């Protein structure tokens, strides 16, 4: 019998396979829909819960809700992360509501989270900063020529941009960030430090990369196919694309020397050639050698 999670080319186009193919690119919406579906099902069934099972008490329903939502997520072959969210969310909500706290207590954390994560549920690229070791390795990719332009896609709180601008004041560094709170922090830090780094609030997918010599991305696996397509369209010959930690599906490349070891995430780098093809940056081209 074929495994529930098999995705081989031999997989038939049964309804479950079709559902999984559809669910794959949009796990957040599918997880939400499954949470709702399982909640509605349990509510409809609640009059028939036996007294021996607490007559369908709220607590029992919350646990069943979590188990059912996680099981449905597993049937849809959602990644483990979403199974855990679906399992924990109803139970955590139940016990939080049981505290009878005023709803006002939730408003400030909600606003903070919205300002921090903004459209991350759509882009599927959350905030987490890169390490100083990555900034140093990235700086070595810049040639000694002055006037080069660097773009940090999703610049977060600005650590990378500020460090690079301090190290190479002869170059121009721009960070673009979609979430208001990280952007504001980076902008204030740049003012405070009198840094030459410019932080722009916006969506990098709507920004033209043609003016830059080095484009740096620390995003997520979900963002990589579109990132590659945009780089292929917009980078000018000679410009480099560097991805921290996440590779591009179908593009095998070795990490830059010094990365991918001792807890430093791998850095993958490609250069746009004159024939408009992105090719891995050769080890000999890397100033860190």
Ligand X SMILES: C[S@@+](CC[C@H](N)C(=O)[O-])C[C@H]1O[C@@H](n2cnc3c(N)ncnc32)[C@H](O)[C@@H]1O
Among 137, 171, 179, 264, binds ligand X (CB under 6 A): 179
Here the tokens at position 43 are 């509510």
Q: Of 142, 136, 163, whose CA–CA distance to 281 is shortest?
A: 142
- Min CB(134)–ligand X separation in Å: 7
Among 36-44, 122-130, 136-144, 254-262, the segment contacting ligand X (CB under 6 A): 122-130
Shortest Cβ 195–ligand X spacing (Å): 15
Expressed in angstroms, the distance from the first to the final Cα of the chain is: 53
Q: How many residues bind ligand X (CB under 6 A)?
A: 23
**Long-range contacts of range 93-97, CB-CB < 8 Å, 24 or more positions apart?**
93/62, 94/58, 94/59, 94/62, 95/62
Pattern 71-110, binding to ligand X, x per CB under 6 A?
----------------------------------------
According to the binding rule CB under 6 A, does residue 178 interact with ligand X?
Answer: yes
159 binds ligand X (CB under 6 A): yes
Q: For ligand X, which stretch binds (CB under 6 A), given 32-40, 42-50, 61-69, 173-181?
A: 173-181
Query: Cβ of residue 254: shortest distance to ligand X, in angstroms?
Result: 21
- Residue from 27, 56, 66, 154 in contact with ligand X (CB under 6 A): 154
| 176 touching ligand X, by CB under 6 A | yes
Residue closer to ligand X (CB basis): 145 or 206:
206
Taking the least distance from each CB to ligand X, the nearer of 94 and 201 is 201
Is 123 a binding residue for ligand X by CB under 6 A? The answer is: yes
Is residue 234 part of the contact set for ligand X (CB under 6 A)?
no
Which of 28-36, 120-128, 138-146, 163-171 is the region at the interface with ligand X (rule: CB under 6 A)?
120-128
When asked if residue 197 is in the footprint of ligand X (CB under 6 A), the reply is no
Among residues 82, 187, 199, 204, which is the contact residue for ligand X, using CB under 6 A?
204
Q: By CB under 6 A, which span of 27-35, 103-111, 124-132, 247-255 interacts with ligand X?
A: 124-132
How far is residue 138's CA from residue 271's CA, in Å, rounded to a whole number? 14
CB atoms within 10 A of CB 174: 18
Q: How far is the CB of 158 from ligand X (least distance, A)?
A: 8
Q: Are 272 and 239 within 8 A, CB to CB? A: yes
* Closest approach of ligand X to the CB of residue 121, in Å: 11
The count of C-alpha atoms lying within 13 angstroms of the C-alpha of 101, restricted to the half-sphere facing its C-beta, is 11
Q: Give the nearest distance from C-beta 277 to ligand X in angstroms.
A: 25
Q: Which residues bind ligand X (CB under 6 A)?
A: 120, 123, 125, 127-130, 152, 154-156, 159-160, 176-179, 182, 203-205, 218-219
């Amino acid at each position: 019998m074929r495994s529930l999670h098999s995705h081989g080319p031999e997989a038939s186009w049964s309804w479950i396979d079709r559902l999984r193919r559809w669910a794959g690119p949009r796990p957040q919406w599918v997880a939400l829909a499954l949470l709702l579906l399982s909640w509605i099902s349990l509510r409809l069934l609640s009059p028939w819960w036996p007294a021996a099972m607490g007559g369908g008490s709220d607590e029992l329903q919350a646990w069943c809700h979590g188990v059912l939502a996680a099981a449905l997520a597993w049937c849809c072959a959602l990644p483990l992360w979403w199974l855990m969210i679906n399992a924990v969310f109803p139970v955590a909500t139940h016990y939080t509501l049981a505290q009878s706290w005023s709803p006002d207590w939730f408003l400030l954390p909600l606003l903070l989270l919205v300002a921090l994560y903004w459209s991350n549920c759509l882009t599927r690229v959350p905030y987490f900063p890169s390490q100083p070791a990555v900034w140093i390795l990235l700086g070595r990719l810049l040639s000694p020529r002055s006037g080069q332009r660097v773009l940090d896609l999703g610049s977060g709180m600005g650590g990378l941009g500020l460090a690079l601008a301090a190290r190479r004041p002869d170059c121009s560094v721009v960070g673009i960030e979609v979430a208001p709170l990280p952007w504001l922090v980076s902008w204030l830090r740049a003012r405070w430090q009198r840094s030459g780094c410019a932080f722009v609030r916006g969506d990098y997918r709507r920004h033209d990369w043609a003016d830059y010599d080095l484009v740096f991305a620390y995003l997520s696996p979900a963002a990589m196919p579109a990132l590659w397509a945009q780089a292929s369209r917009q980078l000018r010959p000679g410009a480099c694309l560097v991805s921290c930690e996440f590779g591009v599906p179908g593009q095998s490349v070795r990490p830059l020397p010094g990365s991918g070891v001792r807890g430093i995430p791998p850095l993958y780098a490609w250069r746009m050639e004159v024939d408009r093809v992105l090719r891995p940056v050769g080890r000999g081209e890397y100033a860190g050698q």
